[in-house]
Structure 1
Amino acid sequence: MWEETGGGLFAVRLVIGLLFFAHGLDILTAGKQRTIDFFAAFKVPIAQISAPLAGVAQTLAGLAMILGLGAQVGAIAMIALMAGAIFYVHGRFGFPNINIVGQQDDGSPVFAMPGYEFNVALIGGLLAVAIGGPGVWAIV
């Protein structure tokens, strides 16, 4: 079995970093207005500013996690962002990420907004990096 001290932390920070980087980049490019409208609909304070700021934070924190440069700071920032996402959006929809609320006439499911399950999973990985550091192969 392959064993590398800190290899697990590297894998966690790489995968989570890629997720945040891609999501943040989407907010800053194609999804900017969509995200502002989404934030406004869920009463996130100052949506015109907080939505692009969330995109910048996710992009930079994701890049920090990918490179391992400032990964712990990026992880802590994303824990705060995920707590905000749970508070303002996902918490009211319960725990399940796949939130089936009904069924179409053809038997296909009707989905509602995802709950906070995925946010909790991300927080778990982010805590591992925040506490354990970036692991191996990091620009420290």
Structure 2
Amino acid sequence: MKINVVTTIMRVVLGILFLAHGMSKVQMGFGNVAGFFESLGIPGFMAYVVGTIEVVGGIMLIIGLLTRYISIVFIIILLGAIFTAKLSAGLMGNGQMAGYELDIAYIVIALYLAVANTRSWSVDGLLFKKSSTNR
């Protein structure tokens, strides 16, 4: 029971954080974010893809819908951010740009959610009911 509470908190908090990141991209304007992506050598259209995934995926985590799959997608996005934008700044950043320490923490949380039983207090639990012997 206690692990279910902690897992739910982790899922909801990670969802809120990704939703906030996605909404930040929306508020900045995807065109501006696309320009930043292009300055890193990433195709500009990826700003729209990443921003949409962050908003929609954040909501999906908050309600607990397809948690495993969206967690894996978030891991891919985070690894992309580390290797394209943050690796050169170092783990803790360089005074001009944030490092990737927070991305690693998000990856660990998303990895846990990708492999853990996240069906308690979630839409997944309502839609995909299985007996505990099948888990």
Greater CA deviation, 112-121 or 31-40? 31-40
The amino acid of 1:9's aligned partner reads T
- Larger RCO (alpha carbons 8 Å, 6+ apart): 1
Q: Given the two structures, how large is their TM-score scaled by the length of structure 1?
A: 0.82
Moved over 4 A (4+): none
Residue equivalent to 2:2: 4
Q: Given the two structures, how large is their TM-score scaled by the length of structure 2?
A: 0.85
Residue equivalent to 1:126: 110
Contact 1:71 1:133 (8 Å CA) reproduced = no
Structure 2 unaligned residues grouped into runs of 5+ = 125-135
* Residue 22 (structure 1) aligned to one of 20, 23, 27: 20
TM superposition shift of 1:33: 2.3
Matching of residue 60 in structure 1 with residue 44 in structure 2? no
CA RMSD of aligned residues (A): 1.5
Q: Secondary structure at the residue paired with 2:123?
A: coil
Identity %: 27
Matching of residue 69 in structure 1 with residue 65 in structure 2? yes
Summarize deviations over 1:69-92 as a string: whole Å, max 9, x none.
111111000000001001100011
Write 1 or 2 for the structure with the bigger share of strand: 1
Task: Report the count of equivalent residues.
Answer: 124
TM superposition shift of 1:135: 4.8
